[in-house]
Amino acid sequence: MVSSNKNLISRTLAVRMMACIDEYEAIKSKTSKQFKSVKEFCKYNKFSHQNFMKIYHRYKANPCPEALLPQKRGPKFQRNRTDLEIENMIIELRKLGKKRFEIKQILKKKYLELAPSETTIYNICKRNGLNKLKKAQKEEKRKIIMKKVGELVHIDLHQISKGITIAEPNQTYYLLGVIDDYTRLCWLEVLDNKKALTVMFATLKAFNMLRMRYGFEIDAVMSDNGAEFGSGKFAKNKEEHPFERLLTEMEIKHIYTKPYRPQTNGKIERFWKTLKDEFLEDSLFNDKEDLKDEILGFIAYYNEHRPHSSLNGLTPLEFHQKM
């Protein structure tokens, strides 16, 4: 039944895209009766000019129904896992003030024959603007705010742009993110909406997954003043709000960021940027379940494989185990 539904969706999309291609060519030949410009045409059909042109050129090169369908694209962190891990580690080590020969020795211990040459390390640093270190980077030291794992976690909600899935291109999804201040261990949940009750259940699941997978309890949570998190310190409905009630029942302290100051919750804001750069950008998933599966892969990558400069080049899991 699921396969039948997917085939129906594929046929419907192919027919629609064929009609769009015919209309596009009519616009270009100035014979279209509905649109005066390609911009107007793209706006009406709710897709970007860039994405449409990819499909158009793909179809012209290979005129078959499959060419009319969006092609799944995996997240960047998976496309060349080893190379990306090594490059990230080079960048993080360079930010700590390490020289390329020192970086080479560190990489050689971990990656053996896969470790790049000093020249490659130099080129990666140069490409990322780290050829010449700033004065502050030369004496990089980790600023320890918290003293133990779980003492404070940051939580936030992030909206994903429409079109992230092929099956439901007009569906808006949200990501609930939780990240530990001390170790940077994180968890993500995919949500269909940002209602307070939905956020509460997703938070409970995220807390449980962090406890079961990485073995720590949470003492305090920092969130912004969004309605899904209780609307701030002075909200009148604190005792009735699902998120606030959850924290009360779990005996977790709730700390709020200063209004209009997202940098107060800076660690998770930085996490969203990493997620966008290494996972969401240029990615396309078959459906919600596919997105959720790939999210689990990113969590494992971020927590267990990706080195962090703030953790002295260790992964969050390595730092947690070391402490």
Query: Could you report the per-residue pLDDT of 37-76, keeping only the tens digit for each?
Result: 888 888 888 777 777 887 888 888 778 877 777 666 666 6
Residue ranges of the domains in the chain?
Answer: 2-68, 76-138, 153-318
CA distance 256 to 74: 35
Identify the residue whose tokens are 């270190």. Answer: 133
Q: Indicate the class that CATH gives domain 153-318.
A: alpha beta
Report the pLDDT averaged over residues 81-89: 74
Mean pLDDT score of the chain, rounded to an integer? 82
Confidence of residue 201 (pLDDT cuts 50, 70, 90): very high
Strands 253-256 and 220-223: parallel
Biggest distance spanned by C-alpha atoms of the chain: 70
Read off the pTM: 0.62
Burial category of 179 from C-beta neighbours within 10 Å (exposed 0-12, middle 13-18, buried 19 and up): buried
Q: pLDDT at position 146, please?
A: 66
Confirm if 173 and 190 have CB atoms less than 8 A apart.
Answer: yes
